[in-house]
Amino acid sequence: MDKDQSSARDEILGRIRNSTRTEKNKSNIEDAQTSMKTMESATINFAAGPDKFIAKLNEVKATVSVISSRMELVREVHEYVARHQEKPTITLANEPELTSLDWSESSITTDYEPHSISVSVTSACYGIEETGTLILYSSPTSPTGMNFLPDYHIVTLDTSNIVVSMDDVWCGLRKNEQAIPRSINMITGPSKTADIEQDIQFGAHGPKFLHVILIQNT
């Protein structure tokens, strides 16, 4: 930190410390958080089933289909894409659970091309039942751009990973002891704007269509 930065930092923190509102008797940084921990969930509350989540997805204008095994995924993706677009290139997140499937008939790539990507398929780690939200973590195999650049964003999610609320996602994050990813995208429906006379329009900058494929592992 350069000298000017160091002095600005000291000035600002100094003024805070001297303010009448500031607690003077705290001992260290971590102590300040103690009372906040009571807000946290000790266990992850998984949803009883996918129905509420599906209803919420519909409410927020995402489309949904449910398949009973990962084997059906290829067919489901093709059927969705065929309904909307003529022979597009489908960009898959470069994850074994996607790439190991038999995509032979299709125009599939795992090369992420940000300038021309039009349909992407990525996986969500969690779904939040309360709000119909998908949780996607960035990773080397699943760049963030895949969630925002295409016109059509297809997301896969195991129904066993649907949790009740956002707090359960944090609980899951902590339990897995993985480092927090660079970006956590919490996605609820397609991109939209109401900036023109409060009239909601989809596809403002992000995907115009969000399709969720729920995999119901029995």
Partner 1 sequence: MQPISHQFNSNVRKALNDKELQKSLFSAKDGLVNNRLKAIKVVSDFEDLREQAKQLKNHTLTNLDSYLELFEKNFTAQGGQLHWARDARHAQEIIVGICHQHEAKTVVKGKSMAGEEIDINTALENAGIEPIETDLGEYIVQLAKEAPSHIIVPAVHKTRAQISQLFADNHKQYGCNEKLTEASDLVAEARKIMRAKFHAADVGITGANFLVAETGSSVIVTNEGNGDLCSTLPKVHIVTAGIEKVVPRLESVSLLMKLLPRSATGQEITAYTTLTTGPKRQNDTDGPEEMHIVLIDNGRTEILNSEISDILRCIRCGACLNHCPVYGNIGGHAYGWVYPGPMGAVLTTAILGLEEAGDLPNACTLNGRCASVCPVKIPLPDLLRSLRTRQFNKSSGSKITRTVFALWGQLSARPAIYHFASGLAIKFLGLLGTNKGSFKYLPFVGGWLMSRDFPVPEGETFHSQWNKQKGKHHG
With CB under 8 A as the contact rule, the residue among 3, 83, 87, 115 that binds partner 1 is: 115
Q: Are strands 209-215 and 63-67 parallel, antiparallel or unpaired?
A: parallel
Which range binds partner 1 by CB under 8 A, 74-82, 97-105, 117-125, 185-193? 185-193
Instruction: Please report whether residue 192 would count as binding partner 1 according to CB under 8 A.
Output: yes
Span of 23-31, 47-55, 81-89, 97-105 interacting with partner 1 by CB under 8 A: 23-31
Q: How far is the CB of 42 from partner 1 (least distance, A)?
A: 12
Residue 62 CA, distance from chain mean position: 14
Binds partner 1 (CB under 8 A): choice among 32, 48, 55, 71: 32
Site membership for partner 1, residue 11 (CB under 8 A): yes
DSSP one-letter string for 86-120: SSPPEEEPS-HHHHTS--TTS-EE----TTT--EE
DSSP state of 127: E
Residue 9 found at the interface with partner 1 (CB under 8 A): yes
By CB under 8 A, tell whether 43 contacts partner 1: no
Rounded Cα distance, 188 and 181, in Å? 19
Answer yes or no: are the C-beta atoms of 135 and 184 closer than 8 Å: yes
Give yes or no for a contact between 196 and 152, defined as CB atoms under 8 angstroms apart. Answer: no
Of 26-34, 43-51, 84-92, 118-126, the window that binds partner 1 (rule: CB under 8 A) is 26-34
Which positions from 123 through 182 interact with partner 1, judged by CB under 8 A? 130-131, 133, 138-141, 143-145, 147-149, 165-167, 170, 173, 180-182
Please answer whether residues 62 and 73 qualify as being in contact, where contact means their C-beta atoms are separated by less than 8 angstroms.
no
